[in-house]
Amino acid sequence: MELRYLEIFCAVVERKSFSRAAERLHLTQPTISFHIKALEEEFSTRLLDRLGRSITPTREGEILYRYAREILSLKEGVRDAMERLRAGVSGKLLVAASTIPGEYLLPGHLARFVAIYPEVFPSLRIGDSGEIHRSVLEGECDLGIIGSPTKDRNLRTRRFLDDELVLVAAPGYEARGTKDLRSLPLLMRETGSGSRAAVEEHLKKRNIPLGELRVVAELGSSQALIRAVREGMGLAFISRLPAAEEIRRKTLKEIKFSGSPVTRSFHIITHRLRHHSPLCATFADFLVSGRAGAR
């Protein structure tokens, strides 16, 4: 059994397609099929089920995938360890983050990290929590930072920072009837956003079904929410990170409401089965150690 066979098998499982695996590995589809057939003959069992256009591993295939990933991680680890001995912490760091950490936390943290390790070239991708979750699973980035916890067993999670979501309105809004959130015209982030998940979890704890709220619009970013609130379209729960400056300048008004505050945590996620380079591990340790917040 060759390592290349395992690489091809893992690519097919992760991409759920022979053609997409071929594209990723720059091989032809017949070559992919040949190597998968060779693996199945070697183990005398079917490893993949072909259901229409989608490929899923059989029970035997899931076992092979788990061990294959560990074997490939060891291979990558040896290579990276040798490279790091020669070059130290350097190279391209691929980070993906949801909107709030991506726009308000990571730029400063990356600047401080690069000041310590000048041979690092960071690349930051920003999307909603669902997109970041997917990009880490598919190996498109080294690590991700999201605003909602994940129960995916393929991901390893480390708590990063805590955040509070504050209810804000336009400066001229008269704070009436805020004891009951059901009475307010609310703007919400889209499904898949970590901040929306935090709001929904808060409502669940207060036994308030989402369907009972007056949701007047859904918007795809915190900045869009802020602009819509300024224009008087409605009220919104926004991270205190971007809201603090707006409140200070009196372009937004914080509205107090009854009950406990809406809180959530940012989490660092990495793939449990993929190898993590020393650069990735060093950056993750840097974030949780407190050095990232040093001025």
DSSP structure string for the chain: --HHHHHHHHHHHHHTSHHHHHHHHT--HHHHHHHHHHHHHHHTS--EEEETTEEEE-HHHHHHHHHHHHHHHHHHHHHHHHHHHHH-S-EEEEEEE-HHIIIIIHHHHHHHHHHH-TTEEEEEEE--HHHHHHHHHTTSSSEEEESS----TTEEEEEEEEEEEEEEE-TT----STT-GGGSEEEEEPTT-HHHHHHHHHHHHTT--GGGSEEEEEESSHHHHHHHHHTTS-EEEEEHHHHHHHHHTTSSEE---SSSPEEEEEEEEEESSS---HHHHHHHHHHHHSGGG--
Q: Is the pLDDT of residue 86 over 50?
A: yes
Express each pLDDT in 183-231 by its tens digit.
889 999 888 788 888 888 888 888 888 888 889 999 988 889 999 999 9
* Whether pLDDT at 178 is above 70: no
**pLDDT for the residue 249:** 93
**Confidence check: pLDDT of 167 > 70:** yes
Q: What is the mean pLDDT of the chain?
A: 87
**Domains along the sequence of the chain with CATH:** 3-85 (1.10.10.10), 88-161+266-293 (3.40.190.10), 163-262 (3.40.190.10)
Q: 46-50, 180-184, 283-287 — which is least confidently predicted?
A: 180-184
